[in-house]
Amino acid sequence: MRKLALLAALVVAVPMASWASGSVDFKNFGGKAYYGNGVLTTRSYGSHFTLINGMNGHSYSGANLGKLVFSTGHMMAGGSLNKGGTFAAGGSFTIIGSGKNGVTGGTLFAGKFSGPTTWTVTTSGGMTYYTLTGTVTGTWAGGRTVIGTVTLNLVGKAGCKTCLHFVGGTVNLPLPVPEPGTLSLLGAGLVGLAGVVRRRAIHA
Protein backbone atom coordinates (compact mmCIF):
# COMPACT_ATOMS: atom_id res chain seq x y z
CA MET A 1 0.00 0.00 0.00
CA ARG A 2 2.85 2.36 0.77
CA LYS A 3 4.35 1.76 -2.69
CA LEU A 4 0.99 2.45 -4.30
CA ALA A 5 0.68 5.77 -2.48
CA LEU A 6 4.20 6.75 -3.50
CA LEU A 7 3.57 6.01 -7.18
CA ALA A 8 0.30 7.94 -7.11
CA ALA A 9 2.17 10.92 -5.70
CA LEU A 10 4.73 10.65 -8.50
CA VAL A 11 1.98 10.71 -11.14
CA VAL A 12 0.88 14.09 -9.79
CA ALA A 13 4.27 15.53 -8.89
CA VAL A 14 6.23 14.77 -12.08
CA PRO A 15 4.01 16.84 -14.43
CA MET A 16 3.97 19.69 -11.91
CA ALA A 17 7.76 19.69 -11.66
CA SER A 18 8.15 19.43 -15.44
CA TRP A 19 5.94 22.48 -16.01
CA ALA A 20 7.50 24.54 -13.21
CA SER A 21 8.48 28.02 -14.37
CA GLY A 22 12.11 29.04 -14.48
CA SER A 23 14.88 30.41 -16.63
CA VAL A 24 18.61 30.35 -17.23
CA ASP A 25 20.64 33.54 -16.86
CA PHE A 26 23.92 33.81 -18.74
CA LYS A 27 26.17 36.59 -17.41
CA ASN A 28 28.80 37.66 -19.91
CA PHE A 29 32.02 39.62 -19.64
CA GLY A 30 34.91 40.19 -22.00
CA GLY A 31 35.33 39.61 -25.70
CA LYS A 32 35.10 41.97 -28.65
CA ALA A 33 32.66 43.02 -31.35
CA TYR A 34 32.86 45.18 -34.46
CA TYR A 35 30.44 47.25 -36.52
CA GLY A 36 30.51 47.11 -40.29
CA ASN A 37 28.04 47.43 -43.17
CA GLY A 38 25.35 48.40 -40.67
CA VAL A 39 25.67 45.16 -38.66
CA LEU A 40 27.09 44.48 -35.18
CA THR A 41 29.04 41.21 -35.00
CA THR A 42 31.08 39.46 -32.33
CA ARG A 43 34.63 38.48 -33.07
CA SER A 44 35.10 34.78 -33.83
CA TYR A 45 35.67 33.86 -30.19
CA GLY A 46 32.65 35.87 -29.05
CA SER A 47 31.95 37.15 -25.57
CA HIS A 48 32.62 34.68 -22.79
CA PHE A 49 30.41 33.78 -19.83
CA THR A 50 31.55 34.06 -16.23
CA LEU A 51 28.29 33.05 -14.52
CA ILE A 52 25.37 30.79 -15.48
CA ASN A 53 22.37 30.53 -13.15
CA GLY A 54 19.61 27.95 -13.38
CA MET A 55 21.07 25.48 -15.86
CA ASN A 56 20.17 21.93 -14.80
CA GLY A 57 19.10 23.47 -11.49
CA HIS A 58 22.61 24.67 -10.72
CA SER A 59 24.76 27.79 -10.83
CA TYR A 60 28.19 27.78 -12.45
CA SER A 61 30.95 30.36 -12.19
CA GLY A 62 34.40 30.60 -13.70
CA ALA A 63 36.44 32.15 -16.47
CA ASN A 64 35.67 29.46 -19.08
CA LEU A 65 31.98 28.58 -19.09
CA GLY A 66 31.26 29.16 -22.78
CA LYS A 67 30.76 31.95 -25.27
CA LEU A 68 28.16 34.04 -27.06
CA VAL A 69 28.53 34.52 -30.81
CA PHE A 70 26.04 36.69 -32.70
CA SER A 71 25.34 39.02 -35.59
CA THR A 72 22.48 41.53 -35.58
CA GLY A 73 20.18 42.52 -38.40
CA HIS A 74 21.01 45.74 -40.26
CA MET A 75 20.83 49.16 -38.63
CA MET A 76 17.56 50.80 -39.61
CA ALA A 77 17.35 54.18 -41.32
CA GLY A 78 18.37 57.14 -39.15
CA GLY A 79 20.59 55.15 -36.82
CA SER A 80 24.35 54.78 -36.60
CA LEU A 81 27.10 53.30 -34.42
CA ASN A 82 27.69 56.51 -32.47
CA LYS A 83 24.21 58.05 -32.48
CA GLY A 84 22.30 54.93 -31.53
CA GLY A 85 19.26 53.51 -33.23
CA THR A 86 17.59 50.21 -33.96
CA PHE A 87 18.84 47.05 -35.61
CA ALA A 88 16.27 45.12 -37.64
CA ALA A 89 15.27 41.59 -36.69
CA GLY A 90 17.39 38.77 -38.03
CA GLY A 91 21.03 37.84 -37.85
CA SER A 92 22.09 34.95 -35.62
CA PHE A 93 22.49 34.29 -31.90
CA THR A 94 24.34 31.26 -30.56
CA ILE A 95 25.36 30.19 -27.05
CA ILE A 96 28.11 27.57 -26.87
CA GLY A 97 29.02 25.69 -23.70
CA SER A 98 32.68 25.06 -22.92
CA GLY A 99 32.34 21.53 -21.59
CA LYS A 100 34.33 22.67 -18.55
CA ASN A 101 33.55 23.72 -14.98
CA GLY A 102 30.47 21.48 -15.03
CA VAL A 103 28.87 23.17 -18.07
CA THR A 104 27.70 21.02 -21.00
CA GLY A 105 29.85 21.36 -24.10
CA GLY A 106 28.61 22.27 -27.59
CA THR A 107 25.77 24.48 -28.82
CA LEU A 108 23.32 25.13 -25.99
CA PHE A 109 21.07 27.62 -27.79
CA ALA A 110 20.80 28.64 -31.45
CA GLY A 111 18.50 31.32 -32.78
CA LYS A 112 18.27 34.91 -33.97
CA PHE A 113 17.09 38.37 -32.97
CA SER A 114 13.33 38.03 -33.38
CA GLY A 115 12.44 41.72 -33.21
CA PRO A 116 14.00 45.16 -33.56
CA THR A 117 17.01 45.50 -31.25
CA THR A 118 17.73 48.81 -29.50
CA TRP A 119 21.23 50.31 -29.62
CA THR A 120 21.77 53.14 -27.11
CA VAL A 121 24.90 55.27 -26.79
CA THR A 122 26.36 57.55 -24.10
CA THR A 123 29.75 59.28 -24.00
CA SER A 124 31.81 60.16 -20.94
CA GLY A 125 35.49 60.96 -20.34
CA GLY A 126 36.49 60.27 -23.92
CA MET A 127 34.92 56.80 -23.89
CA THR A 128 31.68 55.71 -25.50
CA TYR A 129 29.32 53.27 -23.77
CA TYR A 130 26.87 51.13 -25.72
CA THR A 131 23.91 48.95 -24.72
CA LEU A 132 22.25 46.41 -26.98
CA THR A 133 18.76 45.36 -25.85
CA GLY A 134 16.36 43.02 -27.59
CA THR A 135 14.58 39.70 -27.90
CA VAL A 136 15.87 36.42 -29.30
CA THR A 137 14.02 33.32 -30.45
CA GLY A 138 15.66 29.94 -30.90
CA THR A 139 15.98 26.36 -29.74
CA TRP A 140 17.69 24.73 -26.82
CA ALA A 141 19.96 21.75 -27.48
CA GLY A 142 16.99 19.44 -26.79
CA GLY A 143 14.96 21.01 -29.58
CA ARG A 144 12.46 23.14 -27.63
CA THR A 145 11.83 26.65 -29.00
CA VAL A 146 11.88 29.56 -26.51
CA ILE A 147 11.87 33.36 -26.55
CA GLY A 148 14.36 35.20 -24.34
CA THR A 149 15.69 38.66 -23.60
CA VAL A 150 19.15 40.14 -24.11
CA THR A 151 20.98 43.12 -22.59
CA LEU A 152 24.64 43.51 -23.54
CA ASN A 153 27.00 46.30 -22.46
CA LEU A 154 30.01 47.41 -24.49
CA VAL A 155 32.58 50.20 -24.34
CA GLY A 156 34.85 51.71 -26.99
CA LYS A 157 36.39 54.83 -28.45
CA ALA A 158 34.13 57.22 -30.29
CA GLY A 159 34.14 56.55 -34.01
CA CYS A 160 36.13 53.32 -33.76
CA LYS A 161 34.15 50.47 -35.32
CA THR A 162 36.62 47.80 -34.27
CA CYS A 163 37.23 48.97 -30.68
CA LEU A 164 34.10 47.52 -29.08
CA HIS A 165 34.70 45.53 -25.89
CA PHE A 166 32.08 43.67 -23.88
CA VAL A 167 32.00 44.74 -20.24
CA GLY A 168 28.89 42.87 -19.05
CA GLY A 169 25.37 41.85 -19.82
CA THR A 170 22.74 39.16 -19.38
CA VAL A 171 20.94 36.68 -21.60
CA ASN A 172 17.75 35.34 -19.99
CA LEU A 173 16.16 32.25 -21.55
CA PRO A 174 13.10 30.35 -20.27
CA LEU A 175 13.69 26.72 -19.36
CA PRO A 176 12.39 24.32 -22.02
CA VAL A 177 9.48 22.12 -20.92
CA PRO A 178 8.27 18.75 -22.31
CA GLU A 179 5.44 18.54 -24.82
CA PRO A 180 2.02 17.90 -23.19
CA GLY A 181 1.86 14.55 -24.99
CA THR A 182 5.14 13.49 -23.40
CA LEU A 183 3.80 14.31 -19.95
CA SER A 184 0.59 12.38 -20.64
CA LEU A 185 2.57 9.31 -21.64
CA LEU A 186 4.72 9.60 -18.54
CA GLY A 187 1.66 9.89 -16.32
CA ALA A 188 -0.04 6.93 -18.02
CA GLY A 189 3.08 4.81 -17.55
CA LEU A 190 3.20 5.57 -13.84
CA VAL A 191 -0.50 4.77 -13.45
CA GLY A 192 0.06 1.43 -15.17
CA LEU A 193 3.00 0.69 -12.91
CA ALA A 194 0.86 1.49 -9.89
CA GLY A 195 -1.72 -1.02 -11.12
CA VAL A 196 0.90 -3.75 -11.38
CA VAL A 197 2.09 -3.08 -7.83
CA ARG A 198 -1.51 -3.18 -6.57
CA ARG A 199 -2.26 -6.52 -8.25
CA ARG A 200 0.89 -8.04 -6.79
CA ALA A 201 -0.07 -6.77 -3.35
CA ILE A 202 -3.53 -8.39 -3.66
CA HIS A 203 -2.13 -11.76 -4.71
CA ALA A 204 0.62 -11.73 -2.10
pLDDT-derived band at 33 (thresholds 50, 70, 90) equals very high
Q: What is the pLDDT, as a whole number, of residue 186?
A: 42
127-140 and 145-157 strand pairing: antiparallel
Tell me which DSSP letter residue 81 carries.
Answer: T
DSSP-based three-state secondary structure for 139: strand
61 DSSP β-pair partners: 51
Q: What is the pLDDT, as a whole number, of residue 87?
A: 98
User: Rounded to an integer, what distance in angstroms lies between the CA atom of residue 122 and that of residue 167?
Assistant: 15
More confident residue, 2 or 24: 24
User: Rounded to an integer, what distance in angstroms lies between the CA atom of residue 122 and that of residue 155?
Assistant: 10
pLDDT-derived band at 199 (thresholds 50, 70, 90) equals low
User: Rounded to an integer, what distance in angstroms lies between the CA atom of residue 137 and that of residue 92?
Assistant: 10
pLDDT tens string 76-121? 999 999 999 999 999 999 999 999 999 999 999 999 999 999 999 9
Which pairs with CB-CB distance under 8 Å and at least 24 residues apart come from 191-199?
A: 191/11, 193/7, 194/4, 194/7, 194/8, 194/11, 197/3, 197/4, 197/7, 198/4
How far apart, in Å, are the Cα atoms of 155 and each of 34, 107, 132, 161?
Answer: 11, 27, 11, 11
* pLDDT of residue 12 exceeding 70: no
